[in-house]
């Protein structure tokens, strides 16, 4: 299964078992998935953000086809229990 941008259809990632970490996340707009890798994306400058699971350093992700914001990448987790998210991507 390929996940694509809802605005322009650009392919963003796939759901192979080695890539899809979880389907039990909530983004800014509702349901979100956690992936190990994504492609055809543009990352914004990193920012420190307070989230429901604690403080994280993240970069927002934009589709490289249309520049629509599609999620974010976890760069650093300050809470030890959230370290598994580092380097992973949220797709909303």
SS3 4: strand
Give the domain extent around 51.
2-91
The CATH number of residue 10's host domain is 2.170.150.20
Q: What was the pLDDT predicted at 35?
A: 97
Q: Which residues of the chain have pLDDT under 70?
A: none
What was the pLDDT predicted at 56?
97
The total of structural domains in the chain comes to 1
**CA atoms of 73 and 87, how far apart (whole Å):** 7
Q: What is the pLDDT of residue 45?
A: 98
């Amino acid at each position: 299964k390929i996940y694509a941008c809802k605005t322009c259809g650009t392919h963003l990632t796939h759901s192979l078992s080695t890539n899809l970490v979880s389907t039990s996340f909530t983004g800014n707009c509702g349901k979100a998935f956690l992936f190990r890798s994504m492609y055809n994306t543009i990352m914004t400058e990193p920012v420190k953000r307070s989230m429901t699971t604690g403080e994280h350093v993240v970069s927002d992700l934009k589709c490289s086809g249309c520049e629509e914001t599609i999620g974010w990448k976890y760069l650093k987790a300050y809470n030890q229990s959230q370290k598994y998210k580092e380097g992973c991507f949220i797709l909303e």
